[in-house]
Chain A
Amino acid sequence: MAARLIALALFVLAVSSRANAQTYQRLHVKSFVLSSSTDSPRVEQPFSVTMTIRVAERVTHLDNVFLPELLGTEELGDERSLSTDAGGTTYRETMQLVAHASGRVGLGAAFLDAIDARNGKLSRFRSNPLTLEVAGPGYPGPGAWAAVVSLLFFAAMFGAALWFVLKRHRRAHVEAAIEAAPDPQPEPRPSLETALAELRVRRDRIAVMNARDRLWEEVGAQKGQTLADVLTLPVAAHPRTRALLFALERAAFIDEERLQNAIDEIPA
């Protein structure tokens, strides 16, 4: 924690001293890209990482450009170019790198400190970071991984096709063996009146809950709502529906001793 605070203080001091000593360019940064010549360089084989900054202004140089952290790689050389055209300036810096070990290498973002022409404020523009898979002994690299994945995929597809053919073949045998039966039809749901008639015959809690469910469905209520919600629905304004809602609600939650009395109070 203390180390972090010291580092932060040093950074603030550095930034403030630099701010005092330097002037910043006023730029309209249009793009700021970090790219690599390959996503999967090989160990000990040089590759290049290019930082490209496009600004709308025509400038002869770009100040306060910070290269990315090149952890896990060694820099062999660096080449800069700056070209201007009618649309602005393109700054390009290409670094020749080499990795000495296989594995994943992460290159952080590059920075450009400048006054943002859009709002006049000092800003830090950042490029994208880069992640590279360095292939080498013991690390096959993404190309090899892709080959393995492809092989597994095709094996799985072949297995699925085989299973499908065998299943169809077996079902055809079963279907031929049994007599064709009519498609099962869903049991028709009883209407509210049927549910109420059943309630008057059965006179138990299950019949009450069935009738309540049917009534709620009929008025357009959702499962999980309460009576107060249901009473706000336009259909519930009808006097009989309203009386039924109240009576069924009482019968649904009353104790067993008073259930018969509650059922008697349900309007016909």
Chain B
Amino acid sequence: MSRTPQSLIAALSQTIVGQREIVESLVVALVADGHVLLEGPPGLAKTLACRSLAAALDGTFKRVQFTPDLLPADITGTRIFDQRTAQFDTVLGPVFANIVLADEINRAPAKVQSALLEAMQERQVTIGPQTHALPQPFMVLATMNPIDADGTYALPHAQLDRFLFKLQVGFPDAGEELRILDRFAVSDTQPLHGIATLQDVLDWRKAAHAVHLDEKVKRYIVDLVAATREPHGYVQFGASPRASLALAFTARARAFVNGRDVVLPDDVRALAGSVLTHRIAYTHRIAVDRVAPETFVAAAIERVPAP
């Protein structure tokens, strides 16, 4: 296996300046076979990151701009009657791609979100009488804009749970922004190609499954998830066992991406915030007190001692 996840990270970091953690998390999610929800203001290279990831893998990439008038068939595909053949032809929707960017997912109504999220979960789409398997690897990268909340449809908790990670995309620092100016002022970015193949990704996934997860680390995962269920004025209910599974998958993937054959407590703690924050149902008090859920979860993580 000559092409490694680290080479993919290094190549993506050349294109996407100042978002190293986001790039690493995207590759970890790719290896863990999960979907990612990216939240951040416009102009922070969220779309560029997704497009670059697809290009680097020589995979297919589709972008769907979610709008209030979008229909489920606009995502999954539909059947169209062909008058010449007097038969219905199936036209596959943009969800049939290796990397699908669902831009501003919260701007479409619930039935459209459900269509996409069902495809994410089942890895197949039924159009008319036929069921079509989605290509492998298949990864949805959805974006949400924390501002301009008017006219948006908040994702239900059950649907948020289908995203492996929710990543907060932050602003670059001054040095990184200078590098962005230098790079983009002269010419457009060079598209990445052939950094890895789709088959490499499938091989990485198999290899990540073989990474050892010790009993002590498993216990740490369970304790971390249990910490989100402790009674607190901000918590309506904590993360589900699906969160424990997600944390275990991603910790294995992170260990593999970092070239290790064993999961360390570090892997778990580094990912716990991104895996747990969106899986907790919060009370209104957290908003009233203007406490960021990320801050609350970080404090809960700090309270649990690592093995």
Interface residues of A (CB under 8 A from B): 223-228, 249-250, 252-255, 258
Contacts and interface: CB of A to CB of B under 8 A. Distances in A.
Contacts of B216: 252-253
A223 B305 CA distance: 7
Given A254-B261, A258-B262, 13 more contacts: A226-B266, A226-B306, A227-B264, A227-B265, A249-B264, A253-B262, A253-B263, A254-B212, A255-B212, A255-B214, A255-B262, A258-B212, A258-B261
6 contacts: A226-B266, A250-B260, A253-B212, A253-B214, A255-B262, A258-B212
Contacts of A227: 264-266
Interface in B119-162: none
Nearest to B215: A253
Nearest to A249: B264
B212 A228 contact: no
Given A226-B266, A258-B212, A253 B306 contact: no
A224 B306 contact: yes
A253 B306 CA distance: 12
Interface string B246-265: 00000000000000111111
Nearest to B269: A226
B267 to A, nearest CB: 9
Interface residues of B, number: 15
A254 B214 contact: yes
Contacts of B280: none
B212 A224 contact: no
Interface string B289-307: 0000000000000000110
A253 B217 contact: yes
Nearest to A251: B262
B287 interface: no
B212 A226 contact: no
A252 B305 CA distance: 16
Contact of B262 (A226, A228, A254): A254
B270 interface: yes
Contact of B306 (A225, A250, A255): A225
A226 B269 CA distance: 8
Nearest to A262: B262
Nearest to A228: B266
Contacts of A224: 305-306
Contacts of B212: 253-255, 258
Contacts of B306: 224-226
A250 B262 contact: yes
B264 A253 contact: yes
A258 B261 CA distance: 10
Contacts of A223: 305
A226 B262 CA distance: 15
> Which of A228, A253, A254 has the most chain B CB within a 10 Å cutoff?
A253
A254 B214 CA distance: 7
A21 to B, nearest CB: 39
Contacts of A250: 260, 262, 264
A228 B260 contact: no
A223 to B, nearest CB: 7
Nearest to B220: A226
A227 B269 CA distance: 10
Contacts of A226: 264-266, 269, 306
A256 to B, nearest CB: 10
Contacts of B269: 226, 228
Q: Which 8 A-B pairs have the closest CB atoms?
A: A224-B305, A253-B214, A255-B212, A226-B306, A226-B266, A226-B265, A254-B262, A228-B266
B219 to A, nearest CB: 12
A258 B305 CA distance: 26
B183 to A, nearest CB: 30
A242 B190 CA distance: 38
A255 B261 CA distance: 10
Contacts of B263: 253
Interface string B186-228: 0000000000000000000000000010101100000000000
Contacts of B265: 226-227, 253
Nearest to B265: A226
Contacts of B270: 228
A224 B223 CA distance: 13
B212 to A, nearest CB: 4
Contacts of A258: 212, 261-262
